[in-house]
Amino acid sequence: MTDNSKSNLMHIGVLVVLFALFFILPVYHAGNMSRIMVLAVYAMGFNLLFGYTGLLSLGHAMFFAAGMYGFGLTTNLGGLPVPLAFGFGVICAGVLALVVGFLALRTIGVAFMIVTLMFAQTAYLVVLYFGTYTRGDEGFVIQQAQRSIAGIDLTSETGRYFTALLIFGICFLLIARLVQTPFGKTLVAIRENEERTRMLGYDSHRHKLKILVISGLFSGVAGATYALLFGYVGATFATVQYSIFPLVWVLLGGAGTTIGPLIGVFFMFYLINISSGFTDAYMLVVGVVLVLLTLFAPHGLAGLLRKKVLTWLP
């Protein structure tokens, strides 16, 4: 079997496993998995930019929040039906990413980190400034009655899990395909050596802008899905903390791998969840584990897998 078909098989396999998990797992853990899948979409979006293209943004929370607020405000205040509002949220994130990319991509490296960080900070303050509509830090609820598509109740355990799986699955396969295309390969080339890629005749700036918008779109999908499935929209999701999370998830899971983000989110979620069960000082445990992982798994968990067992891992 070629590496390519192995990789295709793996992507389908992951989805099959996730599908089966719903029927195997106790209800509590199935609920956690639906959350993990939504956050993994966010991490995958971030990974496209950071893991594949080598651009480290510290402001991705603004795209997540754009999707969340674009969806939440239009359903709540505008009364838009869910699919339209969802689409609007995703478009908001894409447009924001385009504007941010237009400005921020003039910079590289650490300057890019700072510019995105500050734009995200601005976005966060804007949410607070328009508190009349957004209810600022408190946020607002999307009522249970509003959260259904075509009569399917998305607030039931089943509805939630399979919506999360559907959206995760689409994004997962899209990204798996995208990174195999010439476009995806060029991104990796830019990461490895932007100068040389440019010399070979690729418009690296255009590529970077494109992938930033795509990354923003995925983050927006995650934000809108989160609001849709969990019924809450709040400014917390626009804070720096939520920009740092995807970075940690991706680095832990394995940057530049399709499966890494899911592994990273899963790992962090259960690390916090389990350690908080037996000690109040769970942050200490998390901290120590992070340090140990950087020491012993330099390329994340997926990186470790790729090195030891699955050398073909995409």
Partner 1 sequence: MSNGTSKTSKISRRSALLGMGAGAGALAAAGVLPGTMGFAQAQSSAPIKIGFQKHATGIGAAYGRWYGATTDAAVKRINDAGGINGRPVEVVVEDDGTDPGRGAEVLEKFANQHNCDVAFGTLFSHVVIGSAPRAGELKLPYFVVSEGHHVASGMLNRYTLQPGITDVKSQVISMAPFVANNLGKKVTMIYPDFAFGHDHRDFFSEAIAAQGGEVVAKIAIPPTETSFTRYFPSIPRETEVIYHVMVGPAVLTFVKELGEFFGPNRPELFGFIDSLEAVDIKSSGLEFLEGTYFWEGMPRYAQADQADYEKDYRAAVGVDENGASIADSKDVATYAHMFGCWETLNIIKAGMESADYQGPQDRAKLIEAVEAMTDMPAGADHPQGAKRFNGKTHQTFGSQYISKVTDGKLVVEHTASIEDGLYEDEVDYTAQSF
Partner 2 sequence: MDFGPHLMLASLEGAVISAILVLTAMGLSIVFGVMRVVNVAHGEFYMLGAVLTWFITSIVGGHPAIGFVAAIVVAPLLVGCLAAGADRLILKRVNYDPDRTIVATIGMLYIIQQTTLMTFGPEARPVEAPFNTRLSLPWFEWGENGFAMIWPWGLSTTSYKLFVIAAAAMVLVALWLVLTRTKVGLLMRATQQDSETAQAFGVPVGKVYSWVFGLGAGLAALGAVLVVPIQQAHYLMGHDPLLLAFIVVIIGGLGSLPGTVIAAILIGMSDGIISVFFSPTLAKIIATFLVAMVLVFRPQGLLGKIAR
Interface residue list for partner 1 (CB under 8 A): 23-24, 26-28, 31-32, 35, 125, 128-129, 131-132, 135-142, 144, 152-153, 155-159, 230-232, 234-237, 273, 276, 280, 282-283
**By C-alpha distance, which of 65, 35, 210, 54 is closest to 130?**
65
If the CB atoms of residues 78 and 298 are measured against partner 2, the closer one turns out to be: 298
Q: Please check whether residue 161 is in contact with residue 33, taking contact to mean a CB–CB distance below 8 angstroms.
A: yes
Q: What are phi and psi of 141, to 5 degrees?
A: -100, 140
Residue pair 229/163 in contact (Cβ under 8 Å)? The answer is yes
Q: Residue 169 or 303: which CB sits closer to partner 2?
A: 303
Whole-angstrom distance, CA of residue 102 vs CA of residue 184: 20
CB of 23 or CB of 296, closer to partner 1: 23
**Among partner 2, partner 1, none, what does residue 21 contact (CB within 5–8 Å per kind)?**
none
Q: How do beta strands 232-233 and 140-141 pair?
A: antiparallel
Q: How far is the CB of 153 from partner 1 (least distance, A)?
A: 6
Interacting residue with partner 2 among 128, 166, 200, 274 (CB under 8 A) = 128
Between 17 and 283, name the residue whose CB sits nearer to partner 2: 283
Whole-number Å distance between alpha carbons of 4 and 54: 23
Task: Choose the one of partner 1, partner 2, none that binds residue 288, judging by a C-beta under 5 to 8 angstroms depending on kind.
Answer: partner 2
d(CA 185, CA 206) in angstroms, rounded, equals 14
Report the Cα–Cα distance between both ends of the chain, in Å, rounded. 15
Stretch of residues binding partner 2 (CB under 8 A), selected from 5-13, 76-84, 118-126, 141-149: 118-126
Residues 242/67, Cβ–Cβ less than 8 Å: no
Stretch that binds partner 2, among 5-13, 29-37, 63-71, 113-121 (CB under 8 A): 113-121
Residue labelled with tokens 């089966």: 20
What are the backbone dihedrals phi and psi of residue 148, each rounded to the nearest 5 degrees, phi first?
-145, 150
Please report, as residue ranges, which positions from 281 to 300 form the binding site for partner 2 (by CB under 8 A).
281, 283-284, 286-291, 293-295, 298
User: What is the Cα 24 distance to its own chain's centre?
Assistant: 26
Count of residues of this chain found to bind partner 2 when the rule CB under 8 A is applied: 41
Residue 223 vs 260, nearer CB to partner 1: 223
Cα angle, residue 25 at apex, residues 19 and 28 outer, rounded to 5°: 115
Distances (CA, A) of 204 to 95, 105, 191, 193, 194: 20, 11, 10, 10, 7
Picked from partner 2, partner 1, none, the partner binding residue 31 (CB below 5 to 8 A depending on kind) is: partner 1
Of the candidate residues 20, 27, 84, 111, the single one contacting partner 2 (CB under 8 A): 111
Q: Nearer to partner 2 by C-beta: 12 or 290?
A: 290
By CB under 8 A, what part of segment 46-105 binds partner 2?
103-104
* Strand ranges for 83-139 from DSSP E: none
Out of 125, 199, 200, 274, name the contact with partner 2 by CB under 8 A: 125
Binding interface with partner 2 (CB under 8 A) = 103-104, 106-111, 113-115, 117-119, 121-122, 125-126, 128-129, 240, 244, 247-248, 251-252, 255, 280-281, 283-284, 286-291, 293-295, 298
